[in-house]
Structure 1
């Protein structure tokens, strides 16, 4: 019988760890090759981990809500051609829980001793589950980081927090930080009418989106510039060829691939918009990977990525965009399809918005919002002089990180995108 170690798989660039959501198999259960064993989550997407072989689950080393590094062994499988169908009960973890609980009780059985002895550890890792509990129970970060952790390397577990809450009589005093001036403003209380108002808990993804947005605003000084673009040629050309395009190539022709193409061309001319900030260094990306802010069926937001957008023609972009959009709608995006973007676009016009002030998708330094396309009378210059004509107009707004993108670069890049759209060839072949 061969023993196979199941390791936490790598699920995309820059992803070094994942949270175990749920085990679908127990110790002693038989599994088939490629059968889903467990569900895991990163800060970007939920994924299923399949079995690498036929066999029997011999050992499960990590429990739900634990954050595991990529490459770490999470389970052991006994691989065998003749898989035994005998199923055993899951290994009891009651003794481990009792032991852990006793250890914590010895430390925090008296709340006064806790306040005197516990010291906040600013480097203590807090899992998404622990942070969620802390927010719900109105615990400060310092207070949570002061809880003795019984997990691996002192990691703070859910059971540690719950036991602390059970014995908690008053919050731990915050460590003084004289170097930081605190605002005297107190957040206004939220009124709640029992039986009329309701409380909805954020799901895990919404909580991470909230954290990511707040982090971006704290990190990057946002500046937003606007221009108005005449996209009449694009609208007329698409209306003329969209049915032929779909019949010929089997792909829908939306405006998005045209926008991605214009952005990629503008980035080629202004590469310093395609960067990230690492402390005092600027990382200039050679690849142009354009993210598309996309709404999921749940209402949450995700950013699938068109990789190497500058190397694809319009057909290639249309295929890529359609695949990513369909996968997002069906919750079927793969981890490597949502990581590694270097610039993001957000089509706020899809929802009828005239324009937007988007928040930068870290660690990028700029994001482009595309407003709704509206027909209206405009004064245009022709061979016969100025005339009033009905044109299809759209606002573009670029939010950029003023640490590394100044007004000249941001404005020039935005104008270049607009010029590319306005110069679209009405006679372009498909």
Structure 2
């Protein structure tokens, strides 16, 4: 075996350089022909550069994130002598592209039983790297064919597969569309009418994608309870002026709702979780996201971190700050990251109740409706009475993969109890 210089290949007519993403073969490791040695990014597409022959990695001459001109040496290889001449010429040629291998997908499986249908890519192209990742995670070619590739001509890249795995393999049990499977959704040509065309802005596109993904990923179930907020409403009305004078913060219902939810989560920690493949991650922190409207009309979810550890005045200060920043378009990235449970106050818009969509990757989301005065029958020892009470509907949408009805119902009832049993004698 002889040492050979391995150079940056040319990956297109207009490509003059590439960025090293990651070395997949370490120094001193052996490899076979076709094994991916390195991942290289260009301004057009990411590429997996295969080994031209069996051999051993002697040394890396460049590191990850280095930008290397085409033709420059990136590694020293030790290749088999019988193909030394062939491999040396191929690695030093500036006109050749990295070798690719096509793996033909077998016929579509008929053993999948889920009811949802997906379209598969019949012209599936799988690189050796993607093939090895798929084998490691027991992903069939049928399942690979459902992943949308972001590479050139729709080719599946390593990042597409790893992201698909992180998302919980949503197409794992999907039924491929074929001529032999029952009902296929027809391509109906609806008359969408005419009118002013309003192009979605980037945030609205992201919200749309996120909502569709959430409904596609999580089997949504929604539970409802009605809560009597009379004690809470009366306490807030009696103390909001004194609260603002003492803490210089407005006292809205939001921090009171967050407090009630955070206390309920401490009793039912499984609600504060997310799904990672076959594992449930129960979060240590209780970070409450609160859906907030932006001036554009779009919604964003700023996050109250460690809500269970904050006093009411801290919750009020944090929520007021975040809402103010949202209205002024001054929220930063950290303000909207890390939520473990979300509250959507649909009552702000006058809605009686709502069926919220889960904020992925959380396990549940709570919608609070409008607080409305209503005549209610109150049971007392001396007999039933009719009183004017401040009532509100609570609705909890939950991911049935993680949360069962008993847990969801118990948790939702606990939130309502926390609101109903609010101490009217509480000191500020």
Normalised by the shorter chain, which TM-score bucket? Answer: 0.5 to 0.7
Q: In the alignment, which residue of structure 1 is the partner of 2:407?
A: 409
Between the aligned partners of 2:396 and 2:65, the Cα distance in structure 1 is 41
Shift of 1:153: 11
**Matched position secondary structure for 1:390:** strand
Q: 1:380 to 1:180 in 2, by over 3 A?
A: farther
Determine if contact 1:121/1:142 at 8 Å carries over to the other structure: no
Give the unaligned 5+ runs of structure 2: 1-40, 47-63, 68-95, 97-121, 128-145, 161-175
**287, 306, 309: which one pairs with 1:308?**
306
Counterparts of 1:144-223 in structure 2, within 5 Å, are 147=153, 181=181, 183-193=183-193, 196-223=194-221
CA deviation map 1:123-173 (0-9, x unaligned): 9xxxxxxxxxxxxxxxx9979855389xx9999xxxxxxxxxxxxxxxxxx
Determine if contact 2:231/2:420 at 8 Å carries over to the other structure: yes
Between the aligned partners of 1:305 and 1:226, the Cα distance in structure 2 is 24
Between the aligned partners of 1:73 and 1:255, the Cα distance in structure 2 is 53
Determine if contact 2:177/2:184 at 8 Å carries over to the other structure: no
Shift of 1:381: 1.9
Q: Calculate the TM-score normalised by the size of structure 1.
A: 0.60
Asked if 1:344 is matched to 2:350, the reply is no
CA deviation map 1:92-122 (0-9, x unaligned): xxxxxxxxxxx9xxxxxxxxxxxxxx95558
Asked if 1:234 is matched to 2:240, the reply is no
Shift of 1:179: 11
Shift of 1:208: 1.0
Between the aligned partners of 1:379 and 1:154, the Cα distance in structure 2 is 59
CA deviation map 1:322-371 (0-9, x unaligned): 01100111111111110110000000000011001101100001000000
Q: In the alignment, which residue of structure 2 is the partner of 1:331?
A: 329
Larger Rg: 2
Q: In the alignment, which residue of structure 1 is the partner of 2:386?
A: 388
Task: Report how many residues are paired.
Answer: 288
Shift of 1:191: 2.1
Between the aligned partners of 1:311 and 1:268, the Cα distance in structure 2 is 11
Shift of 1:391: 0.2
Determine if contact 2:45/2:152 at 8 Å carries over to the other structure: no
Q: Calculate the TM-score normalised by the size of structure 2.
A: 0.61
Between the aligned partners of 2:255 and 2:425, the Cα distance in structure 1 is 17
Q: 1:423 to 1:208 in 2, by over 3 A?
A: same
Between the aligned partners of 1:316 and 1:284, the Cα distance in structure 2 is 25
